[in-house]
């Protein structure tokens, strides 16, 4: 893969990511936030006067680069280390294959890395990969999401006519929710931010957008249009994470002008499973938009990226079968990338009682034995085997029983507030839970 260290990842040399709440992370799965140069205990916050240009060669970014070259584990990179311990291909490993192996700029990237080592880990070139989450605007209330990523959840949670103080406190405590004064501050409209983005764009090879829901965030369209206006769209790969509820002609008319587009489908199950997890979504609309996009003239692949959690573990294979169907209908390449749920902790599959874990493993093994497409791909096979491994008796969380009690309360509470029913939407799971 690379001759660098066992903790090496190319991202700190090529990539900058903004969070919806205006913090800057060094990766979409990393738990760590980039800290200020003059205050290493507090993160950079773009809604508090900090500037994105201060991130790229700031003390924290250069420290991370140094740690990775020297083989030290980086605080905040634990999600990748955990996947690797389970035998699941980690994002770090995939990033290395992507950017240091397959990518057209791989030789240049290696030169940038090697040059920085002798320059106090300073990188003279601007980032090649920008990952923008421009605010929290979202039209869905996903059960594994938090208010700092969804304006719809924030609005619901702050509504005193929906939640009592006790109920709100319970949700806040168990969803990793953090209190902010206002999630709607448009930090991404600040002139300094926009000027830096415009300055960086000519060196960009890849743009990634998620949210919130990026297809309803107007500043996303400004950046896409700016790339077209500057004549560089044809040289840029796009990656979108979308819940596929709002794929409109304006969107398709813009993205078709870019070199390549990877559409990552934030879909967590087939039919009612997705509707239950992603409250506010309608499967008929999601299905329509997926098929229309697959049949469009946009160049690029589709990637299903379900969040593996208690709600979908028994029927995640239904989504895999659906993805195979889309491949057969459109001829477009479809990939699968599972995300393991970490928060809320009560949704972690490693909390499940043995009877449900055994049933889930049985269904996954059956799928591996009978699948005609995805299971024949070695990476997909290893990913599914990693999920099976996570369901093993040796992987059960120490506080699993407590978390399952929290899961029951959390589920029934959201069912009540959102007029949903676990029994109706996920009858197999409900039956095995024996509530």
Distance CA 299, CA 303 (A): 13
Give the start-end residues of each E strand in 252-410: 260-265, 278-279, 302-304, 307-308, 334-336, 339-340
Share of the chain above pLDDT 90, in %: 64
Q: Do the domain assignments include residue 238?
A: yes
- Residues 116 and 226 grouped into a single domain: no
Confidence band of 242 (pLDDT split at 50, 70, 90): very high
CB of 301 within 8 A of CB of 265? Answer: no
- Residues 177 and 100 grouped into a single domain: no
- Residues 268 and 349 grouped into a single domain: yes
Domain span including residue 19: 11-127
Q: What is the pLDDT of residues 39-81, one digit of tens each?
A: 777 888 888 888 888 899 999 999 999 999 999 999 989 889 8
Q: What is the pLDDT of residues 224-239, one digit of tens each?
A: 999 999 999 999 999 9
Q: What is the pLDDT of residues 353-409, one digit of tens each?
A: 999 999 999 999 999 998 877 767 777 788 888 899 999 999 999 999 999 999 999
Q: What is the pLDDT of residues 305-346, one digit of tens each?
A: 899 999 999 999 999 999 989 988 888 888 888 888 878 999
More confident residue, 89 or 107: 107
Identify the domain boundary among 75, 97, 127: 127
- Residues 174 and 65 grouped into a single domain: no
- Residues 120 and 229 grouped into a single domain: no
- Residues 76 and 211 grouped into a single domain: no
Q: Report the first-to-last Cα separation within the chain, whole angstroms.
A: 48
- The pLDDT of 183-195, averaged and rounded, is 85
- Residues 223 and 322 grouped into a single domain: yes
Q: Do the domain assignments include residue 313?
A: yes
Q: Do the domain assignments include residue 155?
A: no
The pLDDT assigned to 72 comes to: 94
Q: Do the domain assignments include residue 163?
A: no
Q: How many domains, the chain?
A: 2
- Residues 206 and 101 grouped into a single domain: no
Identify the domain boundary among 69, 97, 127: 127
Crossing angle for the helix pair 218-229 and 191-200, nearest 10 degrees?
40
Q: What are 109's two structure tokens? A: 């990237």
More confident residue, 352 or 53: 352
Q: Do the domain assignments include residue 203?
A: yes
The pLDDT assigned to 245 comes to: 96
- Residues 212 and 287 grouped into a single domain: yes
Q: What are 141's two structure tokens? A: 């209330």
Q: Degrees (nearest 5) of the Cα angle 357, 359, 367?
A: 110
Q: Do the domain assignments include residue 246?
A: yes
CATH number for 366: 3.80.30.10
- Residues 301 and 232 grouped into a single domain: yes
Q: Do the domain assignments include residue 265?
A: yes
Q: What are 428's two structure tokens? A: 């197999």
Crossing angle for the helix pair 378-390 and 354-370, nearest 10 degrees?
170
- Residues 197 and 100 grouped into a single domain: no
Confidence band of 125 (pLDDT split at 50, 70, 90): very high
Q: Across 143-147, 286-290, 304-308, 366-370, which has the greatest mean pLDDT?
A: 286-290
- Residues 92 and 240 grouped into a single domain: no
Q: Do the domain assignments include residue 156?
A: no
């Amino acid at each position: 893969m690379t001759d660098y260290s066992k903790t090496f990842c190319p991202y700190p040399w090529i990539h900058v990511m903004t969070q919806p709440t205006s913090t800057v992370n060094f990766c979409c799965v990393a738990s760590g936030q980039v800290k200020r140069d003059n205050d290493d205990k507090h993160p950079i916050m773009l809604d508090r006067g900090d500037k994105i240009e201060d991130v790229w060669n700031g003390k924290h970014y250069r420290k991370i680069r140094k740690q990775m070259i020297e083989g030290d584990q980086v605080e905040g990179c634990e999600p990748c280390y955990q996947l690797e311990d389970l035998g699941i291909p980690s994002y770090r490993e995939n990033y290395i294959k992507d950017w240091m192996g397959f990518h057209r700029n791989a030789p240049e990237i290696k030169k940038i890395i090697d040059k920085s080592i002798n320059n106090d880990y300073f990188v003279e070139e601007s980032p090649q990969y920008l990952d923008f989450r421009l605010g929290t605007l979202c039209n869905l209330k996903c059960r594994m999401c938090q208010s700092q990523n969804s304006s719809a959840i924030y609005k619901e949670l702050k509504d005193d006519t929906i939640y009592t103080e006790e109920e709100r406190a319970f949700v806040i405590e168990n969803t990793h929710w953090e209190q902010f004064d206002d999630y709607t501050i448009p930090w991404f409209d600040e002139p300094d931010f926009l000027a830096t983005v415009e300055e960086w764009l000519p060196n960009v090879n890849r743009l990634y957008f998620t949210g919130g829901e990026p297809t309803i965030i107007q500043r996303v369209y400004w950046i896409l249009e700016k790339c077209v206006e500057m004549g560089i769209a044809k040289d840029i790969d796009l990656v979108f994470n979308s819940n596929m509820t709002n794929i409109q002609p304006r969107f398709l008319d813009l993205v078709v002008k870019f070199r390549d587009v990877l559409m990552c489908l934030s879909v967590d199950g087939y039919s009612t499973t997705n509707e239950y997890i992603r409250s506010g979504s309608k499967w008929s609309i999601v299905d329509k938009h997926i098929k229309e996009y697959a049949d469009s003239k946009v160049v690029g692949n589709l990637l299903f990226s379900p969040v593996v959690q208690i709600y979908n573990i028994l029927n995640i294979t239904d989504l895999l079968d659906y993805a195979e169907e889309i491949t057969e209908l459109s001829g477009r390449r479809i990939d699968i990338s599972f995300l393991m749920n970490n928060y809320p902790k009560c949704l972690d599959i490693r909390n499940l009682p043995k009877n449900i874990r055994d049933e889930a493993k049985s269904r996954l093994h059956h799928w591996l034995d009978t699948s005609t497409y995805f299971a024949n791909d070695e990476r997909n096979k290893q990913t599914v085997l990693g999920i099976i491994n996570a369901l093993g008796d040796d992987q059960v969380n120490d506080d699993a029983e407590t978390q399952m009690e929290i899961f029951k309360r959390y589920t029934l509470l959201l069912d009540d507030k959102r007029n949903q029913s676990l029994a109706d939407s996920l009858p197999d799971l409900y039956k095995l839970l024996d509530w």
